[in-house]
């Protein structure tokens, strides 16, 4: 039996700009994503078995512990890929995989909680099996599973394009960050993108490239923080309006409903989850 514990960090979108809708139903975006030191933890245990099994359990009652979970999908994809080779050890040998998911990243919050768990699963299984996959192949598997997994696997500050799986490293700058989220409000990516598609006069600020220029010369990035999806959902939720009224410099991450501030603490607020004392980190999923 082998066991490993993986730290899977949350991400925030410093910018998120929607370019157009793709034939496959996804949207092309340009987004600067930054990993932060808010972690879920995966305890992955693998042992040889007569039958292939993936068993999930954990601390949250808000996520499924079955084939709907990205952790399950990632584990299955990892072993399916390795068993494709007729001469592969993985074609003949079966494994029992137990994965305990300790959730600290809020659900449906725009922080890539599911994606980072999926990326961490591929990373952790690859560590257990002596890095049988090169980094490039891990990224290929991540891109098959979703839009943010590659960002979480790579870590740091990244430009994400296409549907979010094409990434490019950007200069890393230390910053402190605070998060605030309405306790009982989660917004799905589907809802946010659908509402954005209904906007007639879509914004076109190109804050992403303005921020890239700012990162390269080391100037303050706060003036370029921006999210198209915030524009799409903001008027529908009083909870979001409350955050913006109290913290006008805050910006929504991903499809929401989490907002963040840079170098500004957030005071406790009834019916809101608040997390201060976080910071930008230069890495992604990693072994604890």
Dist CA 34 CA 31 (whole Å): 10
Is 148 among the catalytic positions?
yes
**Reduced DSSP (H G I as helix, E B as strand, rest coil) percent helix, strand, coil of the chain, to 5:** 30, 30, 35
* Residue 49 φ then ψ, to 5°: -150, 170
From the candidates 7, 11, 73, 181, give the one annotated as an active-site residue.
Answer: 11
Is 195 among the catalytic positions?
no
H-helix or E-strand spanning residue 45: strand 27-49
| Mean pLDDT score across all residues of the chain | 95
**Nearest alpha-carbon partner for 121 in 140, 100, 107:** 100
Within 77-156, strands assigned E span 94-102
Could you report the per-residue pLDDT of 114-123, keeping only the tens digit for each? Answer: 999 999 999 9
Q: Is the pLDDT of residue 140 over 80?
A: yes
**In this predicted structure, what is the pLDDT of residue 89?**
83
**In this predicted structure, what is the pLDDT of residue 238?**
97
Dist CA 185 CA 201 (whole Å): 27
Could you report the per-residue pLDDT of 83-112, keeping only the tens digit for each? Answer: 987 778 888 899 999 999 999 999 999 999
Q: Which domains, ranges and CATH numbers included, belong to the chain?
A: 1-288 (3.30.230.10)
User: Residue range 19-44: average pLDDT?
Assistant: 94
* Cβ–Cβ under 8 Å, residues 253 and 110: yes
From the candidates 148, 195, 228, 275, give the one annotated as an active-site residue.
Answer: 148
List of residues 6+ apart from 136 with CB closer than 8 A = none
User: Residue range 249-278: average pLDDT?
Assistant: 97
What SS3 state is found at 166? strand
């Amino acid at each position: 039996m082998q066991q490993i514990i993986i730290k899977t960090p949350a991400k925030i979108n410093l910018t998120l700009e929607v370019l157009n809708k793709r034939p496959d139903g996804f949207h092309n975006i340009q987004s600067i994503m930054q990993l932060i030191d808010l972690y879920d933890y995966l305890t992955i245990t693998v042992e040889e078995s007569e039958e292939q099994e993936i068993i999930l359990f954990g601390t949250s009652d808000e996520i499924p512990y079955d084939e709907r979970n990205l952790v399950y999908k990632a584990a299955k994809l990892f072993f399916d890929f390795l068993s494709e080779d007729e001469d592969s050890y993985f074609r003949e040998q079966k494994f029992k995989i137990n994965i305990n998911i300790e959730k600290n990243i809020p659900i449906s919050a725009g922080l890539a909680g599911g994606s980072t768990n999926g990326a961490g699963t591929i990373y952790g299984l690859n560590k257990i099996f002596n890095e049988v996959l090169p980094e490039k192949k891990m990224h290929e598997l991540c891109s098959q599973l979703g839009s943010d997994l590659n960002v979480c696997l790579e870590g740091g500050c990244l430009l994400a394009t296409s549907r979010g799986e094409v990434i490019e490293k950007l200069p890393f700058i230390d910053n402190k960050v605070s998060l605030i989220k309405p306790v009982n409000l989660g917004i799905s990516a589907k809802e946010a993108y659908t509402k954005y598609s209904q906007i007639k006069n879509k914004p076109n600020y190109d804050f992403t490239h303005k921020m890239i220029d700012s990162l390269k010369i080391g100037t303050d990035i706060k003036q370029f923080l921006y999210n198209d999806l915030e524009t799409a959902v903001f008027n529908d939720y009083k909870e979001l309006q409350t955050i913006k009224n109290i913290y006008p410099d805050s910006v929504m991450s991903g499809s929401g409903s989490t907002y963040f501030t840079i170098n500004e603490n957030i005071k406790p607020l009834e019916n809101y989850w608040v997390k201060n004392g976080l910071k930008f980190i230069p890495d992604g999923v990693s072994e604890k």
